[in-house]
Chain A
């Protein structure tokens, strides 16, 4: 597999006199991976992902995106590789129509007129936002705005998609749509990085989970490895899943992390 993101011993602090926010982070992410970054508030998750499109540059160490060191690169240059969906949709919606909003990125990247139209149509279809292109973004609901900002980024066709808390405050349908989009992107070879506090969602949708604490990576593994490590979860103040806790109390060695996993286990017991 091709390495698309290489983070090499990255240290970062906002100002010289302030404490380090990232402390020697090293991680490699391959093309087509779906990676979730979890940890308590203030542990450095958002700071880390802001390094992936050069919104922040490491104080020490290197961030290599698709072979490009972010040190000598501007964010707009990386925008064609790295799409970043911010936590609050209202922070980026500004245009008077959905079309103008979605086409803003492709226009910045110099897409041809026909390609802009195609990119807008295709990204709207992907996020299942059934609205006319001349709808005013202000008239959309919170969930629709979230889908719109995802469409904004998808229209730029980035290789890497970063979603910072994409499901916070969203209804079930929007959460499912967003996660289905990420799954589809991963299937088509794109890399998806999600920062979230929604552990169930992560357990269900991610291939790999990176746990951060106090600016460091404390564990990197599959969702099953992470969410069954009760000592780790306790140290980073994450509640284990109820099904996992139940399985542990029942003395089950093969601990499930989803209800589906538990159901399968019970089915095996029933028929064995």
Chain B
């Protein structure tokens, strides 16, 4: 599965300036971190899903989100079981009690909110990468005054997440073919499994970065102190309009939070 690959479509979201998309991602993530009410968290998450529909990439987006579901489920279980130990609250409306496990209504609501927070925060970058080319990302970072080399490295590193996943699958297949049991090993044997997967991966990465560096040198990367760009980013009216709406949403959210709204306790 490709996690961060660009999905080519003709959509409003694709056409947005990447800087606006970065700002939108930051605003949605900050809002997700500001509130803790399950309804707001669901609203944020479903807004991200809605944006994927608007970008016509809903199938790819939902497929890329599927590995995130176990993370959200784990967050739900952990918060349900351990939220009662939070110092800033008292247990209210006990639903289940056995030994040290106490589950109350608030922990359930909070756990739901945290699961959707996780999904939202993970979904935002996936949506961003599916609708933004790495070249556009590099340009956006440069326009945000990040030095070109740093911007290029950031974009390149993100691009190689998929490469790493593919390599990991090849290595996993090779080791499982040698009788490696990935799922059923004991805690003592587990580190050996990890080494069997990670060491070849590291080696492949190191070799790859060496080839990459040579290939970039051969094509005169960094030969001139300044550079021009084939494409230029230009903010359009709709980009400015969305930016204004985003700032308004963020300020409204911030004020609501100051008023104590949007939280469950």
Write the residues of chain A forming the contact surface with B, with a CB cutoff of 8 angstroms: 15, 17, 50, 53, 55, 74-76, 79-80, 82-84, 86, 88, 90-94, 104-105, 108-109, 138, 152-153, 156
Residue-by-residue, is B164-198 near A (CB-CB < 8 Å gives 1, otherwise 0)? 00010011011111111100000000000001110
Q: Judge if B15 is at the interface, Cβ distance under 8 Å.
A: no
Question: Within 8 Å CB of A104, what residues of B?
Answer: 178, 180, 196
Query: Is B195 a contact of A94 with CB atoms below 8 Å?
Result: yes
Query: Is B181 a contact of A108 with CB atoms below 8 Å?
Result: yes
Question: Within 8 Å CB of A152, what residues of B?
Answer: 178
Query: Is A79 a contact of B170 with CB atoms below 8 Å?
Result: no
Q: Judge if B204 is at the interface, Cβ distance under 8 Å.
A: yes
Q: A91 is contacted by which of B59, B174, B179, B181 (Cβ under 8 Å)?
A: B174
Question: Within 8 Å CB of B203, what residues of A?
Answer: 90, 93, 138
13 contacts between A and B (CB under 8 A): A55-B177, A76-B176, A76-B181, A80-B179, A86-B170, A86-B174, A90-B200, A90-B203, A91-B204, A92-B200, A94-B175, A94-B195, A153-B177
Question: Within 8 Å CB of A82, what residues of B?
Answer: 177
Within 8 A of A (CB), among B128-183: 167, 170-171, 173-181
Query: Is B177 a contact of A83 with CB atoms below 8 Å?
Result: yes
B16 to chain A, nearest CB (A): 27
Number of interface residues of B (CB under 8 A): 22
Question: Within 8 Å CB of A15, what residues of B?
Answer: 63
Question: Within 8 Å CB of A74, what residues of B?
Answer: 181
Q: A108 is contacted by which of B63, B170, B180, B197 (Cβ under 8 Å)?
A: B180
Question: Within 8 Å CB of B199, what residues of A?
Answer: 94
Query: Is B59 a contact of A76 with CB atoms below 8 Å?
Result: no
B130 to chain A, nearest CB (A): 16
Question: Within 8 Å CB of B178, what residues of A?
Answer: 79, 92, 104-105, 108, 152-153, 156
Question: Within 8 Å CB of A156, what residues of B?
Answer: 178-179
Q: Give the interface SS of chain B, mostly helix, strand, loop or mixed.
A: helix
Question: Within 8 Å CB of A93, what residues of B?
Answer: 200, 203
Given A55-B177, A92-B175, A156-B178; 4 other pairs, CB 8 A cutoff: A76-B180, A86-B177, A91-B204, A94-B199
Within 8 A of A (CB), among B225-261: none
| Complex-state Cα separation, A17 to B199, whole angstroms | 34
Question: Within 8 Å CB of B197, what residues of A?
Answer: 94
Query: Is A91 a contact of B176 with CB atoms below 8 Å?
Result: no
Question: Within 8 Å CB of A17, what residues of B?
Answer: 59
A49 to chain B, nearest CB (A): 11
Query: Is B200 a contact of A75 with CB atoms below 8 Å?
Result: no
Q: Which residue of A lies closest to B175 (CB)?
A: A92
Question: Within 8 Å CB of A153, what residues of B?
Answer: 177-178
Within 8 A of A (CB), among B194-216: 195-197, 199-200, 203-204, 207
Question: Within 8 Å CB of A75, what residues of B?
Answer: 173, 176-177
Query: Is A79 a contact of B173 with CB atoms below 8 Å?
Result: no
- Give 5 closest A-B pairs by Cβ, nearest first: A108-B179, A92-B174, A79-B179, A94-B199, A84-B177
| Complex-state Cα separation, A29 to B114, whole angstroms | 54
B179 to chain A, nearest CB (A): 3
